Chains A and B, each alone.
Chain A
Amino acid sequence: MSATPASPPAIEVADLRKRYGSGDTAVDALKGVDLSVQPGEVIGLIGPSGSGKSTLLKCLGAVTEPSSGQIVLSGETVYAGGWRNIDPRALRRDRIGFVFQAPYLIPFLDVTDNVALPLLLAGRSNREARQRARELLAALDVDHRAQAAITQLSGGEQQRVAIARALANQPPIILADEPTAPLDSERALAVVRILNRMAQQYRTAIIVVTHDEKIIPTFKRLYHIRDGKTYQEAGEGRDIG
């Protein structure tokens, strides 16, 4: 979980705000979030229910448009009071990876096609997409299930395929929403190990939104979100091998 000082942060967020509704019924879900993650770094984002975690994730994931603030991806400002000449859909496709609580793989595609799909959607050739998918599956030790149907995989294997899919387009950032929630301790730590390894190997920053007490001590850096604001603190950074 080391950073490369010379390179710009993978993601830098400054004074990000999000207001739902207007007038008397307006709700400020984010009240000035500041956040910075270096390439190859894995950080934890924790906070109680209703604190704004999901809203922040949606804003960072270009799913919901923030109300104001700034988002910089790998040195390029993509949001500053509005999306900067960039299609949020293309942003999600090319520069952001997603890992969910459940794997949410496409059940009618096999393992390789699930991983290749983001590349195909980005216009890569079939051959190139499959080659990249096979590499990622090998890196995540699920290449032996490359042709399997999703329903034939165990929960852990499905989560690894989901991580491979998130890495497909080599995004500078991956947003992981409670990726270990349904898993026991051993498997949860295994997933964190994989995320750390992938972050280092592919120089990808990973923001892990979690409530999971089992994995919180593994982060070197944590962001607490409370009442729509983030507070940074050093984590334990426990070594999990």
Chain B
Amino acid sequence: MISLAGRDILHSWGKYAFTGVGLGLLIGVTLSMAGIYRGMVDDGKALLTNSGADLWVVQQDTLGPYAEPSSLRDDLYRSLLGLPDVQRAANVAYLTLQVQIADQEVRVMLVGIRPGEPGEPRYLIAGRPLERAHYEAVADVKTGFRLGDAIQIRRHRYTVVGLTQRMVSASGDPMVFIPLRDAQEVQFLKDNDALRNERVRVLANPVLNRPGVPGLAETLSRSQESSRMVNAVLVQVTPGTDAETVAESIRRWKHLQAYTRPQMEEILIAKLIATSAKQIGVFLVILAIVSAAIVSFIIYTMTLGKLREIAVLKLIGARNRTIAGMILQEALGLGLIGFMVGKTVATLWAPYFPKYVLLEPGDAVRGLFAVLLICAVASIVAIRTALRVDPATAIGG
């Protein structure tokens, strides 16, 4: 038996192809939405992998350092190093802010690290790691910075000495690594006006500036001029050690919160990007409905244009399943063309998205089946219309 659907498609291939391209653009947007979600998840995992930590130690009762603010004293890491099975521990500070370069501003996640310790970028694609104690930066290429660029962060200018890749925050902001001490100042140190104001307040406070207790107010003021806080301590455990056991020990004896890698993944993926994921999910559902409506309308219109031929087919003895099969195959063909166009355009325009778009082959396969299912469902109205056609209409009268 010849393929009636195939012949019909070839007969009106122009209309069919243009419709397929239109549908394909819609499918491309759908695949990109799924890719954005996958990219967010992958960014989160990359963030954890690149930090090189087995445990994230943060302020008690917080989900820090990525999902909630967390503050720890910067000498805590020493006591963590004293715990059994803790191989390395390093302070880190995280802060999302606008960084200025020339006349432009870039939103970045600033990361304060100690060179050579957990938290520093694992590899560079250009330049060198941080070596000096101050005013150097290693930036992710997505910032658009180049080696030698001078970037303004708060009061100071930093020179970009290295470039790295795939180092972004959970929300997709590219990272800029600077020495820990600088990051602490950026995050916690108040500006001069605030410091003067605070000093005056302390001196004016009779409780803090009491006669007979010289130096108290002065000491208090000095303590506010320097920052000894960090956001988290990244811990590497001895190879072969169960990270959860060490985490439990930290929770119990140090009164801190310690998260293992799976727990941090849960925080990043299930909590931090949950709202975005739901947002994307709603978009996907809407796009699926719109696609179904479009395919349904197109197939229905194409069927209406063939009612006379369908009546003739029925009159000369075509089975209902032959006619239904023709319409279904045309709908599936439209979906197939749409999917191929959609996959192609999604791949082509993915690099132009500001956020990482990860188009997974598994998602593509699932998308293909979803498109075919939608097309099959969308053809039902047209099939019902075709099957209701009375073969007598071909005779007339």
Q: What residues of chain A have their CB less than 8 Å away from a CB belonging to chain B?
A: 53-55, 57-58, 61, 63-64, 89-90, 92-94, 98, 100-101, 104, 106-109, 113, 116-118, 120-122, 126, 149, 165, 177
Instruction: Give chain A residues whose Cβ lies under 8 Å from the Cβ of B394.
Output: 98, 100, 104
**A53-B397, A57-B397, A63-B315 given as contacts; is B392 within 8 A of A107 (CB)?**
no
Contact B11 A92 (CB under 8 A): no
CA distance A55 to B391 in the complex (A): 13
**A108-B8, A126-B2 given as contacts; is B317 within 8 A of A57 (CB)?**
no
Instruction: Give chain B residues whose Cβ lies under 8 Å from the Cβ of A165.
Output: 316
CA distance A55 to B12 in the complex (A): 35
Residue in chain B with minimal CB distance to A103? B312
Contact A107 B315 (CB under 8 A): no
Within the complex, which residue of A54, A116, A121, A126 is in contact with B395, where a contact is CB–CB below 8 Å? Answer: A54
Residue in chain A with minimal CB distance to B12? A108
Contact B395 A58 (CB under 8 A): yes
CA distance A117 to B317 in the complex (A): 10
Residue in chain B with minimal CB distance to A122? B317
Expressed in whole angstroms, the minimum distance between the Cβ of A100 and any Cβ of chain B is 7
Instruction: Give chain B residues whose Cβ lies under 8 Å from the Cβ of A116.
Output: 2
Instruction: Give chain A residues whose Cβ lies under 8 Å from the Cβ of B318.
Output: 93, 121
Within the complex, which residue of B2, B10, B316, B396 is in contact with A92, where a contact is CB–CB below 8 Å? Answer: B316
Instruction: Give chain B residues whose Cβ lies under 8 Å from the Cβ of A53.
Output: 397
Contact A177 B395 (CB under 8 A): yes
CA distance A113 to B314 in the complex (A): 16
Within the complex, which residue of B7, B319, B395, B397 is in contact with A108, where a contact is CB–CB below 8 Å? Answer: B7
Q: Which of B262-277 contact A (CB under 8 A)?
A: none
Q: A64-B392, A165-B316 are in contact. List 20 more A-B contacts (CB 8 A).
A: A57-B395, A58-B397, A63-B391, A63-B392, A92-B317, A92-B391, A93-B318, A98-B395, A100-B312, A106-B4, A106-B309, A107-B11, A108-B4, A108-B8, A109-B2, A109-B4, A116-B2, A121-B318, A149-B11, A177-B397
CA distance A90 to B322 in the complex (A): 14
Interface footprint category on B:
20 to 34
Contact B317 A121 (CB under 8 A): yes
Contact B317 A177 (CB under 8 A): no
Residue in chain A with minimal CB distance to B11? A108
Q: Quick check: is B308 within 8 A (CB to CB) of the other chain?
A: yes
CA distance A7 to B395 in the complex (A): 29
Q: Which of B311-337 contact A (CB under 8 A)?
A: 312-319, 322
Within the complex, which residue of A90, A92, A149 is in contact with B315, where a contact is CB–CB below 8 Å? Answer: A92
Contact B316 A63 (CB under 8 A): no
Within the complex, which residue of A101, A104, A108, A120 is in contact with B1, where a contact is CB–CB below 8 Å? Answer: A120
Contact A100 B396 (CB under 8 A): yes
Contact B309 A107 (CB under 8 A): yes
Contact A89 B2 (CB under 8 A): no
Contact B317 A109 (CB under 8 A): no
**A104-B308, A107-B11 given as contacts; is B397 within 8 A of A90 (CB)?**
no
Contact B8 A98 (CB under 8 A): no
Contact B313 A106 (CB under 8 A): yes
Instruction: Give chain B residues whose Cβ lies under 8 Å from the Cβ of A64.
Output: 392
Contact B397 A121 (CB under 8 A): no
Within the complex, which residue of B2, B308, B396 is in contact with A113, where a contact is CB–CB below 8 Å? Answer: B2
Contact B319 A89 (CB under 8 A): yes
CA distance A98 to B394 in the complex (A): 10
CA distance A165 to B315 in the complex (A): 12
Instruction: Give chain B residues whose Cβ lies under 8 Å from the Cβ of A98.
Output: 315-316, 394-395
Expressed in whole angstroms, the minimum distance between the Cβ of A155 and any Cβ of chain B is 17
Within the complex, which residue of A100, A113, A121 is in contact with B322, where a contact is CB–CB below 8 Å? Answer: A121
Instruction: Give chain A residues whose Cβ lies under 8 Å from the Cβ of B396.
Output: 54, 100-101, 177
Q: Which of B59-88 contact A (CB under 8 A)?
A: none
Instruction: Give chain B residues whose Cβ lies under 8 Å from the Cβ of A54.
Output: 395-397
CA distance A141 to B267 in the complex (A): 79
Within the complex, which residue of A55, A121, A126, A149 is in contact with B316, where a contact is CB–CB below 8 Å? Answer: A121
CA distance A120 to B12 in the complex (A): 23
The 5 lowest CB-CB distance pairs between A and B, nearest first, are A93-B317, A54-B397, A108-B11, A108-B8, A63-B392
Expressed in whole angstroms, the minimum distance between the Cβ of B148 and any Cβ of chain A is 65
Q: Which of B1-43 contact A (CB under 8 A)?
A: 1-2, 4, 7-8, 10-12
Instruction: Give chain A residues whose Cβ lies under 8 Å from the Cβ of B309.
Output: 104, 106-108
